[in-house]
Amino acid sequence: MAKVRARPDTGMLYLDFFYRGVRCREQTALKDTAENRRRVQALLKHIEKDIAQGSFDYAATFPGSSRAPQFGAPHVGQSAAAAPKASVPPMPVVRSTTPLFSDFAELWYLELSPQWRSRHRACVREDLDKLLIPVFGARAVGDIGKAEVLAFRAEVAKRKGRKGTLGNARINKIMCFLRQILNEAADRFDMVPAFRGVKPLKQKKTDVQPFSLAEVNRILDTVRVDYRNYLVTRFFTGMRSGEINGLKWKYVDLERNLILVRETLVDGESEDDAKTQSSVRDIPMQPMVREAIEAQWQRRDPNVPWVFSTRAGGPIDGHNFTNRIWYPLLRYLQLEMRRPYQTRHTAATLMLAAGENPEWIAHTLGHSNTDMLFRVYSRFVPNLTRQDGQAFAGLLNSRLAPAKGAQKPGALRDIDGMSPDQLREALAKLLIEKPDQEKEVPREDT
């Protein structure tokens, strides 16, 4: 049903109606007053009458509207001149001063693409060409509001994906590009952001599935000989797929026992920028890793720059390795199907289980801080997986235990057997009473 509405941010009246099955919203230059509402309502009734008779001329009624080229001449075979003239004086309509979405999106892409990695640049280009520009390209960015954004998301959610419809993660990624474009337009043209109040779809949290050390040993004992050194390095360094596949001999420092992460392999091409700034790092080689690297050095082809290469001398292709080596190996060993990226999670959990310093682990994995480490791998930290409170009980036992051969009044021999009230009482005593050697010696008056 057609309505006259007012924009909450500007207080200007606009017409909200449907024409040829498309929702149209045309803004006027009139403030929201009783008199102006009556004038706009009269125009809206006339528009509805013309639409019903098939004589509505969109371009003549709303000159300068971005929708005018979309609808063209009146729906019925009447010309604009033959169509009945409006009995109500035309309303002053604000002509859109914002560029078309297609033009602004290209400008946005041109300005930001130099700072993107090639793979991200290709993803943005593909979504612009196949999804965003076909839907919004002919519209002015100022005419795209929250309703259009939500309608587009609902339509994208119906598209087919590899496993039925597109997942929320993929939908959020598409909407993220649209959000960035429209937010930039809102900043430049002083508009209300179309994404105000639009939240990303909830994504299902996926747990990491690292291998146990026993499973790692089974994999290394069974894998093809030419891939054993490769998997040893993956399992015990935690390198990402692109990092290890793009590893070159010039970044292996055997003298200082380091692997230098400086390049990544993306779509078969080497890039000299890592995923993040913290991803550029030096990884200490553990004994098994150094042994594997030295074995690769002995069998290397001097003309091949890659540490791990195919028989043809090229870098290892991630998809080929996954489908022809990795998954068949897991099926043969009757292990649960997991992506090769789980080798990175395995390295992290093994380091945590060994009690390594979290800061050192985060640096080795290429994390900027330890937040992600504890958030993702918290259940693999030994102090969090054992029974909580044992370390605390040990501290109390050591401080409250009676001296050898003597029984201190109020001291308790077994903290583990305390009731909650007894434990609180003992802790209060520990905090209030100082050991004899810590008591202050009263000074003599001089």
- pLDDT, position 420: 65
221 is a domain residue:
yes
Single-letter residue type at 131: L
Q: Per-residue confidence at 399, pLDDT binned at 50, 70, 90? A: low
| Least reliable range by pLDDT among 183-187, 192-196, 268-272 | 268-272
Q: Does residue 420 or residue 368 have the better pLDDT?
A: 368
Give the separation between CA 320 and CA 138, rounded to whole angstroms: 41
The whole-model pTM stands at 0.59
**Is it the case that residue 385 has pLDDT exceeding 50?**
no
Tell me whether residue 417 is in a domain.
yes
- Supply the pLDDT for residue 377: 82
Q: Domain containing 282 — which CATH number? A: 1.10.443.10
CATH number of the structural domain spanning residue 122 = 1.10.150
Q: Which domain holds residue 107?
A: 101-189
Kindly report, residue by residue over 76-85, the tens digit of the pLDDT.
444 444 444 4
Same domain, 234 and 321: yes
Residues 295, 171, single domain; the answer is no
89 occurs within a structural domain: no
Q: Which helix (H) or strand (E) holds 168?
A: helix 168-189
pLDDT for residue 290 is more than 70? yes
SS3 state of residue 363: helix
Clarify whether residues 244 and 353 are in a common domain.
Answer: yes
Higher pLDDT, 185 or 411: 185
For residue 64, the model assigns a pLDDT of: 74
368 & 394 share domain: no
Domain co-membership, 397 together with 352: no
Both 235 and 376 in one domain: the answer is: yes
Question: How is 68-126 classified by DSSP, letter by letter?
Answer: HHHH-S-SSS--TTTSPPPSSPPPPBPPP-SPBHHHHHHHHHHHHGGGS-HHHHHHHHH
Whether residue 45 sits in one domain with residue 117: no
225 pLDDT exceeds 50? yes
Strand partners of residue 100:
140
- Whether the pLDDT of residue 68 is over 50: the answer is yes
Residue 15 maps to a domain: yes
Q: Buried b / exposed e across 209-247, counting CB within 10 Å, b at 16+?
A: ebbeeeebebbbeebeeebbbbbbbbbbbbbbbbbbbbb
What's the confidence (pLDDT) of residue 80? 41
Percent of the chain with pLDDT over 70: 78
pLDDT for the residue numbered 430: 60
Pair (230, 375) in one structural domain: yes
Residue 200 belongs to a domain: no
Residue 373: CA atoms inside 13 Å, Cβ hemisphere, count? 24
Q: Are residues 285 and 244 in the same domain?
A: yes
For residue 19, how many other CB atoms are within 10 A of its CB?
18
Give me the residues paired with residue 172 across strands: none
- Our CA angle for 106, 107, 108, nearest 5°, is 90
Q: Are residues 231 and 272 in the same domain?
A: yes
Pairing of strands 258-261, 264-266: unpaired
Which helix or strand (DSSP H or E) is residue 287 part of?
A: helix 287-298
Average pLDDT on 23-37 reads: 85
Distance CA 58, CA 68 (A): 6
Do the beta carbons of residue 271 and residue 123 sit within 8 Å? no
The verdict on residue 314 lying in a domain is yes
**What's the chain's Rg over C-alpha atoms?**
34
Give me the residue label for tokens 């309505």: 3
Mean of the pLDDT values across residues 379-385? 60
- 444 confidence band (pLDDT: 50, 70, 90): very low
pLDDT tens digits for range 85-120: 444 444 444 445 688 999 999 999 999 988 888 888
Are residue 248 and residue 365 in the same domain, yes or no?
yes
Average pLDDT, the chain: 81
Structure-model confidence comparison of residues 332 and 167, the more confident one:
332
Residue 270 and residue 362 in one domain: yes
pLDDT of residue 441: 45
Report the run of H or E that residue 43 belongs to, with start and end: helix 34-53
CB 159 within 8 A of CB 166: yes
Answer yes or no: is 93 within a domain: no
Structural domain count, the chain: 4
What is the distance in angstroms between the CA of the first residue and the CA of the last residue of the chain? Answer: 99
Quote the pLDDT of residue 417.
62
Instruction: Using DSSP bridges, classify how beta strands 264-266 and 252-253 pair: parallel, antiparallel or unpaired.
Output: unpaired
pLDDT reported for residue 354: 83
The answer to whether position 272 is within a domain reads yes
